[in-house]
Structure 1
Amino acid sequence: MTTPVHSDVVVVGAGISGLVAARRIAEAGYRVRVVEARDRVGGRTLNADLGDGQVAEVGGQFTGPGQDAIQRVAAELGVTTYATHDTGTHLLDLGGRIRPWSVSEPWIGPAASLSFLAAQRRLNRMAATVPPHEPWRAPRAREWDAETLGGWMRRHVPVPRARVLLAMAVRAVWAFEPEDVSLLHVLACVNAGDGLQRLMRTRDGAQQDRFTGGSQRISELLADGLPEPPLLRHPVRRVVQDGTGVTVHTGPGTLLRADRVVVAVPPQLAARIAFEPRMPPGREQLLARSPQGTALKYLAVYDEPFWRAAGFSGQVASDRAPVASAFDNTPPAGRPGVLLGFAVGGPARRLLELPPPVRQERVLASFARWFGERARTPRQVIVGSWSEEEWTRGCYAGYLTPGAWTAHGHLLREPHGRVHWAGSETATRWIGFMDGAVTAGERAAAEVLTATAARPAPVGARDGRSG
C-alpha cells in the first residue's frame, strides 16, 4: 500500500490562484503541497521563448487600472509592468470595410453609434445593481438569469450594426457568444470589471499593460518561493474525506494526506475529479453548467514590427472570421515584431474544425488584409489552442449558462467539507482575469487558515515528516 505524503494543506492546480493560495498558507507557517497535472506551473498563463531573452505570452497576459491584486503580487515578486503598444492607427474591419477606429469614440455611423453607446450605458446601469459576490441577490436576478445576453440584445439594440459591434466586444472580452451566456452572468462580470468601457479598452482599460518577462513569470516565482516545489505531472483523480482529514489520489499513484484541500482548477476540470463523499447535487449541476470560452491565440513573429513604420498600432477589431481582434505583442526591446491575433467564440469553434495548417493560413490572411502582404510570411508562428489543451479545455474562463446563477450560484464558493474552491471563476472582482485568480486564491487561503486554526493540526503535519 502506498504511504501517504503528509501536509497541512494540499492545493490542486499550479496556476496563479492555486500558487497564491499556497503562498499565503505557507506564510502562515503551515506545510502546503501543490499538485499540478501539467509538466509546468502557470495554468492558463504560458510564455513562449522568442530568443535573445525575449518572450511572448501564449495565455493570459494583460493587466490594467483597477487590477490591484495581481499588480500587488507581481510587485512582491519583483515583476514590473510596461505599456501595451498603443501608438498609431487602430483599425475596425466591419461589414467588409476597413477604417480607422477608436474604442473610446466608436463611430460607425450616427444611428449605429448612438445605439451602441446607449446599449453600453444601459448594460452598465443594469450591472451596477448586480452584486458580483452574490449575483443571485440582484433585484431582477431571476428575470436576467432566464435569458441570454443575445436575447437581450435583440430586444434592446435595434440597429443591426450596433448589435454586431456589441457581439464583437463580447467575443473579444470573454471568448463566448452572446447566445451562450446568462445575461446575469455578463452583468456580474461587467460590475466586477469596472464597466464595459474599461473591459474593452487598452489605454485606461483592461489591456493597458503587460508583465515584464511574461505573465507566466509570476507563477514561476510564486512556485520558487514555496518551501516544497509543486508536484508536476500529477493529475488529481479522487479526493476522499473522512473524519480526520482528506486523501488526494493522483494519476501516478501518489497519495497526499492533509487537513484541508484547495481546488484551484477550471470548472470543467474540477468536474472530472471524483469526490468522496460526492459534492452536493447543486454544485455538480453548477459545474455542468459552466462551460469554458473558446479561444485560439496566434503569435506571428517577424524580424521587426514593420506595421509601426506604416503608422499602424497593430490593434484591430473585426467581424470577419477567423481573427476577431489583434494587438502588437512585440516585447519591450522592440524586436522581434510580434502580431497577436485572437480567434474567439463561434469563429474559433469553426476554426478548430479545420486542420492546423489551414487555420494558420487563414489567420495570416487576416493579418495580410490589415497590414499588407509582408504579414503573410512571419519567421515563426506560435499557437495557443487552449480548447485542445487537455488540462485547460477552453479559455479564457468558465461562464454560467442561463438559470445557473439563481439555481446554484450560492454553492460557487461554499466549501465541500474540507475542500475549498479557488480559481478565477470564483472571484468577485475581475471574474476570469488574473486579478480575480489572485483574490480567489487569497480568499480560499483565508478560509483554510480560519478552519485550520479552529482545530488541532493533523498528526505529522508540522512535526517535520513529509512522507
Structure 2
Amino acid sequence: MQKEIKSNSDVMSVDVVIVGAGFAGLSAAERLDSMGVSVLVLEGRDRVGGRSYSGEVAGVKVDFGATWVSPRHTAILDLAKRLGCSTTGQFHEGLNLLWMAGRRHTWTGTIPAVDSMDLEDLGRVQVALDELLAPIDIDAAWKSPNAEKLDSISFGEWLDQQQAAASTRAVMTMVSKVQWGCNPGEVSLLHVLRYIQAVGGLDHMLAVEGGSNQDRITETTQEIANRLAAKLGDRVVLDSRVRQISQDDDGVTVHTDSAVISAKYVISTATPEHRSYIEFLPALPEKTEGLTRTWPMGKLSKAFVAYDKPFWRAEGLSGEALMDTGTAFITFDVSPDDGPGVLMVFCAPRVYDGFDLETRRSRVVQQLVDLYGAQASTPIDYVDHCWGTEPFAPGGPHPAAGPYAVTSYGSALTEPHGRVHWAGTETAGEWAGTMNGAVLTGLRTAEEVAQRLGVEGASE
C-alpha cells in the first residue's frame, strides 16, 4: 500500500491524484482504475479510512469513528459485501434508559420521553420540524424555499421560538451533539434540516430497527477501507500530506513533503474546513475560502467500557441510554455474540478531552454506575478516542455550519476549482454525512473526471 517517494526531485506522473484515503477517495480511485485511468491516492495519516477508525477493548474490535449502516445504505453495503465484510445487528432488546434532571427513567421506541406531557411536547416539536423538512433541496439547500430565513437562525433559536419544553430541548441537544458535534445554538437551522432530510428524516436518523443504526460492520468499518486499499496496492500512499496544488491550462502539480506529482486532474476529499490545509495556486475562489472558514468540524469523543458479560441484558435493559448532563450522553451495547459486555459511550469533548486518561475513565464509569448500577463500577477494560485532539484533520462526524453559512457558501461544496474536483460525504446530497454518502460522492467525482478525460463509457 505504501509507494516509496523519496525526494522532491522525484516527479511522478498520473492521470488523477486523489487527496484522502477515506471511503470517498478509495471509491473514486477504484472506479477510475477500473476505467484504465492511472491514479494515486495521497493520505496524510498513517492509515486509511478517514473518520472510520478501528480500536480494540478487551480483545474486541470496535469503531472509534463511523459505526452504523442502514438497510438503505446500499452503496456501502454493496462495497462491504464485495470485499468480504459482514454485518451484525445492533442489539436493542429491552428497555432503554434516560437520565434527565438527576433522575433515571426507562423508555422504549425511537425518541425518549419521561411522561405523557413530555412526549406530547416532543411530538409537537417534531411535527413542526417535519413541516420544515419537506421542501428542503438536499442537493442545494441554499436554493430551498425560505432558505435565507431558515439559515438566519440557529437550531437552538428555533427551539426557543417553538417554546420547546426543557425535556424536548434536552433530547434535541443530545441529537445535535452526536450528529453535528455541537450544541443546538451553534448550528444553522437550515444546515440541520439539510442533514436530517438527506438521511431520510429524524426517525430514520435515530432508529435502530429499519433505521440508520440498524447494523454494524462485524469486522469494523475501517476494515472495508483496509481491504479496498489493499486492492489498490501501491496506488495508495500513506503519511503523504498534500501541501500545495497548483494548476494551469495543461494540468495540475501536487506537492507533498517528499514528492512532486504531475497530473491532469485532482479529486480532493478533504472536509470543507480542511481544504484550507492546502495551498492552492491559483487561490481558491472567495466563496470556497468562505466555506473553509464557516463550516468547522464539530467535536465528538467516544469511549468503550468492557465488562465480563453484558450484565444489563439480564436486567431487561438494552444498553441504550441518554443522559442530559455529565461527560457521557449516549450509550449503546456493542457486545459480541460470545464474549465480554461492551458499552459504546459518546462523550462531550468540552468536559472530557482536556483530562488525562484516568480522569476520563473515572467520569465515564461513574455515569455508567448511575445508569446500570454497582456492577458497572468494575470494568475489565477501557479505551477511548478524542477526535478533536487528533494532530491531523481533527474534528467530529460532520461540519457544524453556523447561521448564514449555508446560503452564503454552501454552493462551493461541489463547484470544481478548475481541475480540482471535490468529493467527501459533506458534498453528498442524499445520505450526506454517512459512509454511504461518501462512497456515492467518490463514484460521482470519478465519473465527472473520467468524462473530462474523455474516457469511453464515462457517464454524461
TM-score by length of 1: 0.92
Q: What residue in structure 2 maps to residue 463 of structure 1?
A: none
Matches within 5 A, 1:121-140: 121-140=127-146
| Number of residues of Structure 1 aligned to a counterpart in Structure 2 | 449
Residue 391 (str. 1) matches residue 392 (str. 2): yes
The change in CA–CA distance for 1:339 and 1:227 in structure 2 (over 3 A counts) is: closer
**Structure 1 residue aligned with 2:273, among 268, 277, 280?**
268
C-alpha distance in 2, partners of 1:108/1:311?
18
User: Quick check: 398-407 or 189-198, which moved more?
Assistant: 398-407
**Structure 2 residue aligned with 1:186, among 187, 192, 204?**
192
Deviation at 1:51, TM superposition (A): 6.8
**Structure 2 residue aligned with 1:207, among 213, 223, 228?**
213
Residue 28 (str. 1) matches residue 28 (str. 2): no
Q: After superposition, give the CA deviation of every residue in 1:73-104 in whole Å (9 maximum; x if it has no partner).
A: 21222222110111122101111111111243
C-alpha distance in 1, partners of 2:178/2:224?
24
Q: What residue in structure 1 maps to residue 15 of structure 2?
A: 8
**Structure 1 residue aligned with 2:113, among 107, 116, 123?**
107
Aligned-partner residue type, residue 36 of structure 1: E
CA contact (8 A) 1:15 1:44 kept: yes
Aligned-partner residue type, residue 346 of structure 2: F
Deviation at 1:318, TM superposition (A): 0.9
The change in CA–CA distance for 1:112 and 1:51 in structure 2 (over 3 A counts) is: closer
Backbone CA RMSD of aligned residues? 1.7
Q: After superposition, give the CA deviation of every residue in 1:332-370 in whole Å (9 maximum; x if it has no partner).
A: x331221110014xxx22322333322221011111111
Aligned-partner residue type, residue 327 of structure 1: F
C-alpha distance in 1, partners of 2:245/2:261?
9
Q: What residue in structure 2 maps to residue 339 of structure 1?
A: 343
Deviation at 1:4, TM superposition (A): 1.1
Deviation at 1:302, TM superposition (A): 2.2
The change in CA–CA distance for 1:55 and 1:429 in structure 2 (over 3 A counts) is: same
C-alpha distance in 2, partners of 1:337/1:281?
51
User: Quick check: 148-157 or 305-314, which moved more?
Assistant: 305-314
C-alpha distance in 1, partners of 2:56/2:169?
39
Aligned-partner residue type, residue 349 of structure 1: R
Q: What residue in structure 1 maps to residue 371 of structure 2?
A: 370
User: Quick check: 359-368 or 63-72, which moved more?
Assistant: 63-72
- Structure 2 residue runs of 5 or longer lacking an equivalent are 1-7
SS at match of 1:90: strand
User: Quick check: 32-41 or 153-162, which moved more?
Assistant: 153-162
Matches within 5 A, 1:275-314: 275-314=280-319
Matches within 5 A, 1:225-236: 225-226=231-232, 228-236=234-242
Deviation at 1:65, TM superposition (A): 3.2
The change in CA–CA distance for 1:374 and 1:109 in structure 2 (over 3 A counts) is: closer
Matches within 5 A, 1:21-100: 21-50=28-57, 54-100=60-106
Aligned-partner residue type, residue 123 of structure 1: L
Matches within 5 A, 1:167-182: 167-182=173-188
- Structure 1 residue runs of 5 or longer lacking an equivalent are 456-467
Deviation at 1:387, TM superposition (A): 0.4
Deviation at 1:50, TM superposition (A): 4.6
C-alpha distance in 1, partners of 2:399/2:388?
12
C-alpha distance in 2, partners of 1:225/1:61?
22
Aligned-partner residue type, residue 162 of structure 1: T
Deviation at 1:376, TM superposition (A): 2.5
CA contact (8 A) 2:155 2:188 kept: yes
The change in CA–CA distance for 1:163 and 1:273 in structure 2 (over 3 A counts) is: same
CA contact (8 A) 1:111 1:159 kept: no
